[in-house]
């Protein structure tokens, strides 16, 4: 095998949603039946072509294999699953004779159909991207069932680009998978590695035959210490995988990337393997040091792909420092390439599209600007610092301007944070609170509620778009939102829910909405980032000290409460989640910013309470997401994150009931922290994992109110009464009835009204059935 040199600069992946969310629109049009599969394929091909053209224009076109082929219609882990034929048996009827799935079948795995639940969705490392969890068992028949990656490479080649196909590596694929329904207890997907590797080998051979010189295999699971497979087993699997794949003669050169952290003891294993290039995340991880002589010698024979440009944040940052790190990497190997630390999937496309950010615009680098930075650092590495001094100086000046800008440090905010004491974090005795709340709030056994949002209809979104473009006045907009709140309250009364919500129609997003109303944040016009499938967010830019210039949710909550005698929950997003889903400042520890946010929310909560709102929910779905990938960092993170929630909520009277809500994650590792939040009631996603979480919570000693979700809100499927009755009965085995709440897994904003109403009616049906047999 002859190896073409690895390009001097590259990125690990590029946003695939499109600068104006073209992919979202095309995919949703296909789902709605308004375009055909062929039209969807055509639009996706146009988007890929535009991406290649853009990346070439930004400087990645000069060298072969510099442009990654990292497109996906929905999710890269799902892509890997369908490529290797890992389709769960409940979807077997969708699979063609040759093992392939058509586009409709592919989306069915992601979205479910009829009684067939979709694949579970969960966080992708510590990002706000979500992947679909493959299901693997002894029955999974691996075979090369999808050739999309080969076809996309060929499509690029026909257009004159020799790109670098990207796929999730075999070890990460199995480490992220869960045991299938058919698998016996204790089954580990990783045990199927030997059966999976020939399929990867065949794929590599196909790519080689098509002319690919390099292939990127993403192995981020190796940097994550939370994977429930022992480290020795992981390392053995890694060695085996790249021994087998490396031994193939008909293959492209292998580039194994390990974004999101340091490889640690996996680095010697990869260095000893036959892979030709190794990618290190040098933003989250540090330059490996103290390597044993064999590892050092082996590494020196490979290309080290230095991930020195942050793929996870939007700051233009210190480019000279990035060049310094890249230069230091030359001590590991004479062949160094410059890259992003992670895929640029987590970034919006282009900061130049933002015209309303003023001076802030000069401090930013979105995906396209990061590519430019990589090209600059690669040039600096080749030609010396002087060759790029103008770019380095401009970045340094922007950084200095940013750090000294008014608003970055606000004396009043800092003084308030400095004056806090232990009492500010403590709500007092739980039993006393329970008694006070029972006296103050009239609730039946198994109280029913929802998580906050009701469907964000196109009428609501259109109204907001018209407000933003000046077609609607704010008075007209408010009147429309109040009408919507009125409808949502009436609907909930009709369905028979016990604790109502106002439905959040006025919120474009549960984080962006707060960011728009807090000082210290800016928001973008076009800064869309994929969160899962076709769903996107525009993460806010947190650039300065945070404070609350005026009440945010108060009027809406008070209005909603004025329409009903039932309690209406106040609804806020918690400090950790606001941080997790924004692009945060990098000039101070996150914990300090969390305190500032908590103080702003504390004031909002005090005002809600003062206005008669007796139940207030503070959502923290991202509590687990920010958990560091390294165990050594867990305790410090959990301390500041739990403290920020407590600081936000501890100012209320005992009779005010504080709720929180968690979703989109596996919560096993943060169960103790959930208890330490000391919320009176915690609703938690549970339906997709069939209530497994309830046992974990109960056995952790958690003794507050709990609402395990009884139905999955990610799919349009309407759950039946019997199914939810069973889940409630299952929950009651672990939690006493007086502490159990009944609610869906999460908010209903992504759902349509018809399925929402039917599902909630069935949820009430199940609750009545269970109430009749529970004492
Ligand atoms: C709960 N989750 C959230 C996460 N992160 C967030 N920041 N927010 C979340 O809610 N992470 C974990 C989970 C799962 N993730 C998501 C992410 C995104 C959505 C979602 O529904 N996104 C919407 C966009 C929401 C939004 O910003 N809406 C705006 C703009 C709407 C819009 O597209 N307007 C059109 C014009 C409208 C028209 O004329 O019809 C336009 O601008 O072109 C708003 O409402 O104003 C999405 O559609 O992707 C859910 C879960
Ligand atoms: N209150 C929010 C929480 C989502 S995690 C909602 O209902 O959409
Ligand atoms: Zn949720």
pLDDT tens per residue across span 645-657: 999 999 999 999 9
Per-residue pLDDT, 666: 76
For 93-125, letters b (16+ CB in 10 Å) and e give: ebbeeebbbebebbbbbbbbbeebbbbbbbbbb
**Are 552 and 495 in a shared domain?**
yes
Cβ(8)–Cβ(337) under 8 Å? Answer: yes
CA of 768 to the centre of ligand 2 (A): 25
Element (H, E) at 42: helix 37-55
**Are 440 and 386 in a shared domain?**
no
Residue 44, beta-bridge partner list: none
CA of 324 to the centre of ligand 3 (A): 42
Cβ(177)–Cβ(134) under 8 Å? Answer: yes
Q: Any idea which residue has 């020795």 for tokens?
A: 232
Pocket probe mutation, ligand 2, options 130, 453, 620, max atoms within 8 Å of Cβ: 453
6-48 pLDDT per residue, tens: 999 999 999 999 999 999 999 999 999 999 999 999 999 999 9
Of 404, 425, 454, which marks where a domain is finished?
404
Task: Classify residue 496: in a domain, yes or no.
Answer: yes
What would you measure as the largest C-alpha separation in the chain, in angstroms?
79
Pocket of ligand 2 (CB under 6 A): 451-453, 510, 571, 619, 621, 661, 663, 746-747, 749
- Ligand 1 atom with the smallest distance to the CA of 511 is 7
Task: Classify residue 183: in a domain, yes or no.
Answer: yes
Per-residue pLDDT, 691: 82
Reference 199, options 74, 81, 109; nearest CA is 81
**Are 68 and 207 in a shared domain?**
yes
Residue 304, beta-bridge partner list: 278, 336
Cβ(680)–Cβ(433) under 8 Å? Answer: yes
CA distance 242 to 581: 35
Task: Kindly state the tokens that stand for 186.
Answer: 């204790």
**Are 465 and 375 in a shared domain?**
no
Is residue 189 helix, strand or coil? helix
Reference 212, options 170, 263, 256, 155; nearest CA is 155
Per-residue pLDDT, 629: 83
Phi-psi region of 352 (alpha: psi -120 to 50; beta: other; left: phi over 0): alpha
Reference 283, options 300, 250, 260, 315; nearest CA is 260
Task: Kindly state the tokens that stand for 104.
Answer: 């409709």
Task: Classify residue 103: in a domain, yes or no.
Answer: yes
Task: Kindly state the tokens that stand for 157.
Answer: 């080649």
Element (H, E) at 53: helix 37-55
Task: Kindly state the tokens that stand for 215.
Answer: 């292939």
Per-residue pLDDT, 775: 66
Is residue 504 helix, strand or coil? coil
CA distance 151 to 144: 14
**Are 530 and 451 in a shared domain?**
yes
When divided into structural domains, the chain yields a total of 2
CATH of the domain at 489: 3.20.20.210
Reference 243, options 208, 280, 272; nearest CA is 272
**Are 224 and 332 in a shared domain?**
yes
- Ligand 1 atom with the smallest distance to the CA of 456 is 45
Q: Is the CB of 354 under 6 A from ligand 1?
A: no
Per-residue pLDDT, 692: 82
Which residue's alpha carbon is nearest to atom 44 within ligand 1?
508
Q: Any idea which residue has 């629109």 for tokens?
A: 25
CA distance 364 to 540: 12
CA distance 657 to 257: 47
**Are 608 and 647 in a shared domain?**
yes
Task: Classify residue 459: in a domain, yes or no.
Answer: yes
CA distance 607 to 438: 22
Burial of 311 (0-12, 13-18, 19+ CB in 10 A): buried
Burial of 700 (0-12, 13-18, 19+ CB in 10 A): middle
Per-residue pLDDT, 2: 63
Residue 705, beta-bridge partner list: 681
- Ligand 2 atom with the smallest distance to the CA of 453 is 7
Task: Classify residue 124: in a domain, yes or no.
Answer: yes
pTM of this prediction?
Answer: 0.94
Helix axes 692-699, 721-734, angle to 10 degrees: 20
Element (H, E) at 256: strand 253-258
Reference 354, options 345, 343, 372, 366; nearest CA is 366
**Are 650 and 737 in a shared domain?**
yes
Q: Which ligand is nearest to the CA of 580?
A: 1
**Are 33 and 95 in a shared domain?**
yes
Cβ(291)–Cβ(335) under 8 Å? Answer: no
Reference 440, options 241, 238, 656; nearest CA is 656
Phi, psi (rounded to 5 degrees) for 553:
-105, -5
Cβ atoms within 10 Å of 292's Cβ, excluding its own: 10
Task: Classify residue 428: in a domain, yes or no.
Answer: no
Cβ(633)–Cβ(664) under 8 Å? Answer: no
**Are 674 and 591 in a shared domain?**
yes
CA distance 92 to 693: 28
**Are 692 and 589 in a shared domain?**
yes
CA of 747 to the centre of ligand 3 (A): 6
CA of 630 to the centre of ligand 3 (A): 25
Task: Classify residue 427: in a domain, yes or no.
Answer: no
Task: Classify residue 83: in a domain, yes or no.
Answer: yes
Reference 573, options 533, 540, 532, 534; nearest CA is 540
For 649-678, letters b (16+ CB in 10 Å) and e give: bbbbebbbbbbbbbbbbbbeebbebbbbbb
CA of 40 to the centre of ligand 3 (A): 30
Cβ(690)–Cβ(727) under 8 Å? Answer: yes
CA distance 374 to 12: 11
**Pairing verdict, β 529-532 and 535-537:** antiparallel
Cβ(756)–Cβ(454) under 8 Å? Answer: yes
Query: Which range marks the domain in which residue 479 is found?
Result: 434-773
Ranges in the chain, pLDDT < 70: 1-2, 775
Which residue's alpha carbon is nearest to atom 39 within ligand 1?
462
Cβ(629)–Cβ(658) under 8 Å? Answer: no
Which residues have a beta carbon within 5 Å of ligand 3, which is an ion?
Answer: 621, 663, 746
**Annotation marks residue 714 as catalytic:** yes
Would you say how long the chain is, in residues? 775
**Pairing verdict, β 68-69 and 164-168:** parallel
155-208 pLDDT per residue, tens: 999 999 999 999 999 999 999 999 999 999 999 999 999 999 999 999 999 999
Q: Give ∠ CA 282-286-287 in degrees, rounded to 5.
A: 90
Phi-psi region of 261 (alpha: psi -120 to 50; beta: other; left: phi over 0): left
Q: Distances from the Cα of 571 to the Cαs of 354, 578, 593, in angstroms?
A: 30, 14, 21
**Are 384 and 510 in a shared domain?**
no
């Amino acid at each position: 095998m002859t190896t073409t040199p690895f390009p001097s600069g590259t990125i690990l992946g590029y946003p695939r949603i499109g600068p104006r969310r073209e992919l979202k629109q095309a995919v949703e049009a296909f789902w709605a039946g308004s375009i055909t599969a062929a039209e969807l394929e055509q639009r996706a091909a146009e988007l890929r072509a535009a991406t290649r053209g853009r990346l070439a224009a930004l400087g990645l076109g000069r060298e072969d294999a510099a442009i990654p082929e990292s497109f996906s219609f929905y999710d890269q882990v799902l892509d890997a699953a369908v490529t290797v034929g890992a389709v769960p048996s409940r979807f077997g009827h969708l699979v063609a004779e040759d093992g392939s799935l058509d586009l409709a079948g592919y989306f069915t795995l992601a979205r479910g159909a009829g009684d067939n639940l979709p694949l579970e969705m969960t966080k992708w490392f510590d990002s706000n991207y979500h992947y679909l969890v493959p299901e693997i068992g002894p029955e999974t028949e691996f075979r090369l069932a999808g050739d999309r990656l080969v076809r996309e490479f060929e499509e690029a080649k026909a257009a004159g680009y020799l790109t670098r196909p990207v796929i999730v590596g075999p070890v990460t694929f199995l480490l992220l998978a869960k045991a299938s329904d058919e698998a016996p207890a204790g089954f580990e997907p990783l045990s199927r590695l030997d059966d999976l590797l020939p399929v990867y080998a065949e794929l590599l051979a196909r790519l080689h035959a098509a002319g690919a010189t390099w292939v990127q295999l993403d192995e981020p699971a190796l940097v994550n210490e939370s994977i429930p497979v022992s480290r020795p087993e992981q390392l053995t699997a890694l060695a085996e995988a790249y021994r087998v794949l490396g031994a193939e003669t008909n293959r492209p050169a292998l580039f194994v990337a390990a974004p999101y952290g340091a490889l640690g003891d996996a680095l010697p294993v990869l260095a000893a393997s036959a892979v030709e290039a190794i990618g290190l995340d040098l933003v989250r991880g540090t330059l490996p040091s103290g390597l044993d002589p064999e590892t050092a010698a082996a590494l020196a024979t490979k290309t080290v792909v230095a991930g020195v440009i942050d793929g996870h944040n939007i700051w233009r940052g210190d480019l000279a420092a990035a060049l310094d790190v890249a230069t230091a990497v030359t001590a590991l190997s004479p062949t160094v390439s410059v890259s992003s630390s992670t895929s640029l999937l987590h970034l919006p496309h282009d900061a130049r599209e933002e015209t309303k950010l003023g001076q802030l615009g000069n401090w930013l680098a979105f995906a396209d600007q990061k590519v430019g930075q990589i090209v600059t650092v690669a040039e600096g590495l080749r030609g010396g610092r002087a060759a790029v001094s103008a770019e380095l100086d401009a970045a340094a000046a922007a950084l200095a301007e940013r750090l000294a800008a008014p608003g970055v440090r606000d004396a009043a905010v800092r003084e308030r944070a400095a004056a806090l004491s232990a009492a500010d974090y403590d709500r007092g005795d739980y039993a006393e609170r329970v008694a006070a709340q029972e006296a103050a709030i009239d609730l039946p056994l198994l109280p029913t509620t929802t998580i906050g949002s009701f469907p964000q209809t196109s009428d609501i979104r259109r109204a907001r778009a018209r407000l933003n473009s000046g077609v609607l006045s704010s008075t007209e907009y408010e009147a429309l939102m109040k009408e919507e709140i009125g409808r949502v309250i009436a609907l909930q009364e009709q369905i028979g829910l016990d604790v109502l919500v106002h439905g959040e129609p006025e919120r474009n997003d549960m984080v962006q909405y707060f960011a728009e109303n807090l000082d210290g944040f800016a928001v973008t016009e076009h800064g869309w980032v994929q969160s899962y499938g076709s769903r996107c967010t525009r993460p806010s830019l947190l650039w300065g000290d945070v404070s609350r210039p005026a009440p945010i949710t108060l009027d809406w909550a008070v209005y909603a409460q004025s329409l009903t005698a039932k309690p209406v929950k106040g609804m806020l997003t918690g400090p950790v989640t606001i941080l997790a889903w924004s692009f945060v400042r990098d000039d101070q520890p996150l914990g300090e910013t969390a305190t500032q946010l908590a103080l702003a929310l504390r004031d909002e909560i005090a005002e809600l309470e003062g206005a008669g709102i007796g139940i207030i929910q503070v959502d923290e779905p991202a509590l687990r997401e920010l958990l560091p990938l390294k165990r050594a960092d867990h305790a410090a993170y959990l301390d500041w994150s739990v403290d920020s929630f407590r600081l936000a909520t501890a100012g209320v009277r005992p009779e005010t009931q504080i709720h929180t809500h968690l979703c989109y994650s596996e919560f096993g590792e943060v169960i103790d922290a959930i208890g330490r939040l000391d919320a009176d009631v915690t609703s938690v996603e549970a339906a997709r994992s069939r209530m497994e979480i309830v046992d974990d919570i109960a056995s952790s000693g958690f003794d507050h109110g709990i609402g395990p979700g009884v139905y999955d809100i990610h799919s349009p499927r309407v759950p039946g009464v019997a199914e939810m009755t069973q889940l409630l009965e299952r929950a009651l085995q672990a939690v006493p009835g007086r502490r159990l709440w009944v609610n869906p897994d999460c908010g209903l904003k992504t759902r349509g009204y018809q399925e929402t109403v039917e599902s909630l009616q069935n949820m009430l049906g199940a609750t009545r059935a269970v109430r009749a047999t529970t004492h």
